[in-house]
Amino acid sequence: MTLEVIDFFCGSGGFSEGFRQQGFKIIKGIDNWNPAIQTHNLNHGLDDRVSDVLDFEKSIDSINKLKNTEIIIGSPPCVTFSMSNRAGKADKSLGVRLIEAYLRVVAVKKHQPKSILKAWLMENVPNSRNFVREFYTFDDLDLGDWAKTIGKESGDIALRVKNNGGFFIAADYGSPQSRERFICGEIVRTGDFPEPQITHSKKSDIFNHQVYKTLGEIKRFMPSPFEFLIDGEWKDPNYPGLILIGNTLTDHFYDTGLYQVEWEKAKFAKVNHPYMGKMSFPEDENKPSRTIMATRSASTREAIIFKSEYSRNGDGEYRLPTIREIATLMGFPYNYQFFGSEGTKWRLIGNAVCPHMSAALAKAIRRDLGLGVIEEKEVDFTSLNENHEKVNNLNSPTKKTQFNAPPKKNIGAKFRMHPFKSGNMTVALTNFDPINGSNPHTNGKNWFCVLYLGSGKIYDAIPVSKTLFRDVEKIVSSFSEFEQIKNEFSDKIINNVGSFDDLQYVFEKNVGEIDRVGNPVKIIENVSEIINNCLFKIDETCTIRLDGIKKTNFHKKQLLAIWMISQIVYSNNPSRIKNNKKIVQPSII
Ligand SMILES: C[S@@+](CC[C@H](N)C(=O)[O-])C[C@H]1O[C@@H](n2cnc3c(N)ncnc32)[C@H](O)[C@@H]1O
């Protein structure tokens, strides 16, 4: 028996794909974003138009018009949630409204006379569990009057949600990704959640689980993006029976090399965050991939960054994953195609349910309905084979040799960066006053050395005054290696620092002097390097009293950071730089 499925908030169809692999027939996808519907249509042989799930809030008619299916699945977007969840619609956040609009459809399809619904599921981010109820009555779903027409009371329970499911990690079900999600639902006949069977774990164990697939295993199994070959044979690391030839492996053979300014920023955010834990840079390949986010980012903590196979230093030394790599790390088969630009494809993929997770749920439903399970080797991918010709293939056989159009920032973009954290404090160079704040148009007109004292999100921010700078200078100039440090600081940093305007300009345009020495990101890295290379024990402390600061015990390296960054701020002389023509190359702006 082939069971039919409607996929609400279908996106590119990760949820659908797991069910397809388990022999279910996807008959409709609902999404209000065109690239999602186009992608879902292409991969599942459908012809749907964009539509809005909120339309099902309005009338029962619209729900009745939807074809009845045995299965309903849905993964509402993780847009805003808020604690306010009272009865009136106006009080609900969009996230809660979308969940309830979906549950309303499920409730009607479950309780309508002659219902054929056998199972339903809802998937969302873990935090969404805080915003769903243990159960929903017909009244809660605005179905009070309708309930009476089918012989029920408006206060009767229509659906159990919060405890009918739990948190699940995709890697436990064979996905090469550690994505965690809240999933709930039921087998209608029993009211029980179709518990998926764990197949993988961190280490081999008594349950005969396979060991997690790691990021490195997947990456090494795939061809390098620089093998711009058209006649290779590419075996899918997730589905070994699926083999593609040459350019039919789309969205993979192109250069995703990053500008140095981008990867350096990501590196700093990962290894040197003021209050969050240290992360690997580049990615740790010995574990499943971290969660692929919906937004393609190159310079944040969330960015997934690999060392490039193409040997370059600085610009291009590191790269982002290709679209095919992230699709494979989600568990999409090699011949699954995505519409749109690189950014759109990334969003479609990062939004999806991992197909392995979805297939495990589909298998559990088959088991609970007494249907045979479809083994992986029996899964058929041929229906997807010709689709590569219908999408914009990102493959492009040119290596980036010139990195001459770095991503620009907004005019007035804020800057705050510290060379390291130690002793419960950071010393940062900023282009905004942390106490008075500054509006974006004034950022960059003034730069500050700021002490951030404390941990977590609660801290004191103290701009270093000229007097405080001079007090610290007296102390650091007595350090044994001060002369040497001072010379290195002059050579590497202070002689190359531009005026405040120049600093802002170089930062916004992501350019700088040769080797970007005048770029504030590079300046802070150089400060970090000089201090961390000092010979004296860097965590040694000094007990001193500084004007306006309660703390009296300072790591020597922090005092050096105060001295260096204040020096940058207080010796900043606009005329010096302009006279020496130390400003960036206008040709690349
Ligand atoms: C988490 S994603 C779904 C991912 C999908 N299940 C998959 O596995 O690929 C949420 C989707 O909801 C869609 N969406 C957001 N608001 C919507 C609305 N009001 N009506 C229909 N779709 C909506 C978004 O365009 C997005 O594709």
Please name the residues in contact with 408: beta carbons below 8 A apart, sequence gap of 6 or more: 508, 509, 510
pLDDT tens sequence across 94-104 = 899 999 999 99
In 477-573, where does DSSP find H-type helix? 482-492, 500-509, 520-532, 556-570
What pLDDT does 40 receive?
A: 98
- What pLDDT is stored for residue 536 in this prediction? 60
Which atom, in ligand 1's list, is nearest to the CA of 17? 8
Assess whether the previous peptide bond of 282 is cis (omega < 30° from 0): yes
Residue nearest to atom 7 of ligand 1 (CA): 352
> Does the pLDDT of residue 456 top 70, yes or no?
no
CA–CA dist 355, 357 (Å, integer): 5
pTM here is 0.84
Nearest to 259 by CA among 96, 75, 404: 404
Q: Which residues pair with 36 in a beta bridge?
A: none
At residue 147, the pLDDT reads: 97
Q: If you measure from the C-alpha of residue 134 to the centroid of ligand 1, how many angstroms do you get, rounded to a whole number?
A: 23
Ligand 1 midpoint to CA 10 (Å): 6
Cross-strand partners of 443? 446
Ligand 1: residue of 51, 105, 351 to mutate (most ligand atoms within 8 A of CB) is: 351
Residue 413 CA to ligand 1 centre (angstroms): 32
Number of H helices, E strands in the chain: 16, 21
Residues of the chain with pLDDT > 70, as a percent, come to 90
Ligand 1 nearest atom to the CA of residue 75, by list position: 6
Name the residue at shortest CA distance from atom 9 of ligand 1: 352
For range 232-237, the mean pLDDT: 94
Which range has the worst mean pLDDT, 59-63, 344-348, 419-423, 553-557? Answer: 419-423
Burial 284-300 (b: 16+ CB within 10 A, else e): ebebbbbbbbbebbbbe
Closest by CA position to 96, among listed 75, 81, 111: 81
Q: Quote the tokens at residue 347.
A: 């969003």
Neighbours of 179 (CB within 10 A): 23
Which residue, judged by its Cα, is nearest atom 3 of ligand 1?
Answer: 11
Residue 20 has pLDDT above 60, yes or no: yes
Residue 579 has what pLDDT? 35
Q: How far apart are CA 213 and CA 178, in angstroms?
A: 10
CB-CB contact of 451 with 461 (8 Å): yes
CA distance 439 to 486: 35
Cα 132 to ligand 1 centroid, rounded to whole Å: 18
pLDDT in tens, 536-552: 655 678 888 887 788 88
Kindly tell me if the per-residue pLDDT of 572 is higher than 60. yes
Q: Please tell me the total number of residues recorded for the chain in this structure.
A: 589
Residue 53 corresponds to which amino acid? V
**H/E element holding 262?**
helix 260-271
Residue 52 alpha carbon, nearest atom of ligand 1: 20
Query: Which of 12, 32, 345 to mutate to test ligand 1, by most ligand atoms within 8 A of the CB atom?
Result: 32
Element containing residue 98 per DSSP (H, E): helix 94-111
User: Which two three-digit tokens encode residue 415?
Assistant: 């800057």
Angle between helices 556-570 and 482-492 (to 10 degrees): 40
Residue 438 is predicted with a pLDDT of 65
pLDDT of 576 strictly over 50:
no
Distance 49 CA to ligand 1 centre (A): 14
Q: pLDDT tens across 386-399, in order?
A: 899 999 999 998 88
Average confidence (pLDDT) over 519-535:
83
What is the bridge-based pairing of β-strands 318-319 and 306-307? antiparallel
Pocket of ligand 1 (CB under 6 A): 9-15, 30-33, 36, 52-54, 75, 77, 98, 351-353
Q: What's the one-letter identity of residue 80?
A: T
Catalytic residue (choose from 10, 78, 184, 449): 78
Q: What's the pLDDT tens digit per position in 110-155?
A: 999 999 999 999 999 999 999 999 999 999 999 999 999 999 999 9
Nearest alpha carbon to residue 381 among 350, 347, 337, 348: 337
Q: Residue 453 is inside which H or E element, if any?
A: strand 448-455
Q: Which of 10, 19, 31, 348 has most ligand 1 atoms within 8 Å of its beta carbon, as the pocket-test mutant? A: 31
Q: Which atom of ligand 1 has the smallest separation from the CA of 14?
A: 8
Instruction: Examine the pLDDT at 491 and tell me if it is beyond 90.
Output: no
Q: Higher confidence at residue 147 or residue 492?
A: 147
Measured in Å, residue 72 CA sits from the centre of ligand 1 at 14
Query: What is the distance in angstroms between the CA of the first residue and the CA of the last residue of the chain?
Result: 63
518: three-class secondary structure by DSSP: coil
For residue 53, report the distance from its CA to the centre of ligand 1, in Å. 9
Annotated active-site residue 184? The verdict is no
Mean pLDDT of 234-262: 93
Q: Which residue has the CA at smallest separation from atom 6 of ligand 1?
A: 10
Element (H, E) at 63: helix 60-65
Among 11-25, 343-357, 523-537, which is the least confidently predicted range?
523-537
Residue minimizing CA distance to atom 10 of ligand 1: 77
In this structure, which residue's CA is closest to atom 22 in ligand 1? Answer: 31
The pLDDT confidence band at residue 440, using thresholds 50, 70 and 90, is: low
